């Protein structure tokens, strides 16, 4: 019996909604309507609410997924740099700007969302806080491997540089901030 030609399946509605929402939130901000998200995802508006209880729940899901993807990518990059503690320590900076310059880059979706939603109880703040806590743990572990005498102190300083690159991306999509952050990280490590 002859095989039928392989067809590419369309991603599930939830996945299309997440991708459309992420792209629209990042490019146009969070005032994008649910109607627009549904249209870009190729679904009816009720489908949005079948998967997400509210627009806030969709925002939370998008931010959670973006943060998790970052850590998946970072873990892979750290593994590639295994055996070189300094290279691992600067890996987050390099990863932030690996595709720059890019005129579509507007900084970090998590930082941008937290700046948009000022209430500390908004899911955007919770996602950003969890992201920061995880980055602090990673920076502290990497700082210890790199020989820092006070890895927790260095981790907090590196987190400031890390956030600085992401925030700088709002007005500078060249990636040049990463060079400055790497130089500052080297100086901090030398002192630590």
The predicted pLDDT at position 7 comes to 57
Q: How many whole angstroms separate alpha carbon 33 and alpha carbon 23?
A: 13
Quick one: pLDDT at residue 101? 83
Residue 179 neighbours by CB distance under 10 Å: 13
User: Which residues are CB-neighbours of 127 under 8 A, at least 6 positions away?
Assistant: 60, 63, 64, 67, 110, 113, 114
69 C-beta neighbours (distance < 10 Å), count: 11
Secondary structure of the chain in HEC code, one letter for each residue? CCCCCCCCCCCCHHHHHHHHHHHHHHHHCCCCCHHHHHHHHCCCHHHHHHHCCCHHHHHHHHHHHHHHHHHHHHHHHHHHCCCCHHHHHHHHHHHHCCCCCCCCCCCCHHHHHHHHCCCCCCHHHHHHHHHHHHHHHHHHHHHHHCCCCCHHHHHHHHHHHHHHHHHHCCCCCCCHHHHHHHHHHHHHHHHC
Q: Please, what is the angle between helix 55-80 and helix 123-145, to 10°? A: 10
Which has the closest alpha carbon to 24: 43, 12, 40?
40
Question: Full-prediction pTM beyond 0.85?
Answer: yes
pLDDT tens, position by position, for the chain (192 residues)? Answer: 555 555 568 889 999 999 999 999 999 999 999 999 999 999 999 999 999 999 999 999 999 999 999 999 999 999 999 999 999 999 999 998 888 888 888 889 999 999 999 999 999 999 999 999 999 999 999 999 999 999 999 999 999 999 988 888 888 888 788 888 888 888 888 887
């Amino acid at each position: 019996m002859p095989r039928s030609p392989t067809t590419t399946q369309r991603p599930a509605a939830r996945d299309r909604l997440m991708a459309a929402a992420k792209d629209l939130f990042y490019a146009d901000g969070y005032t994008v309507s649910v109607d627009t998200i549904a249209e870009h995802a190729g679904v009816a508006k009720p489908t949005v609410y079948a998967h997400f209880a509210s627009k806030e729940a969709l925002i939370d899901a998008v931010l959670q997924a973006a943060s998790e993807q970052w850590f998946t990518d970072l873990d892979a990059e750290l593994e590639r740099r295994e055996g070189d503690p300094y290279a691992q320590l600067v890996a987050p900076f390099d990863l932030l700007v690996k595709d720059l310059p890019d005129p579509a880059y507007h900084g970090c979706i998590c930082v941008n969302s937290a700046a948009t939603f000022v209430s500390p109880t908004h899911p955007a703040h919770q996602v950003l806080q969890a992201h920061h806590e995880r980055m602090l743990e990673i920076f502290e572990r990497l700082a210890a491997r790199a020989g820092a005498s006070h890895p927790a102190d260095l981790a907090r300083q590196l987190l400031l540089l890390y956030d600085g690159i992401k925030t700088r991306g709002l007005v500078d999509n060249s990636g040049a901030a990463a060079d400055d952050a790497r130089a500052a990280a080297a100086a901090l490590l030398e002192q630590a």
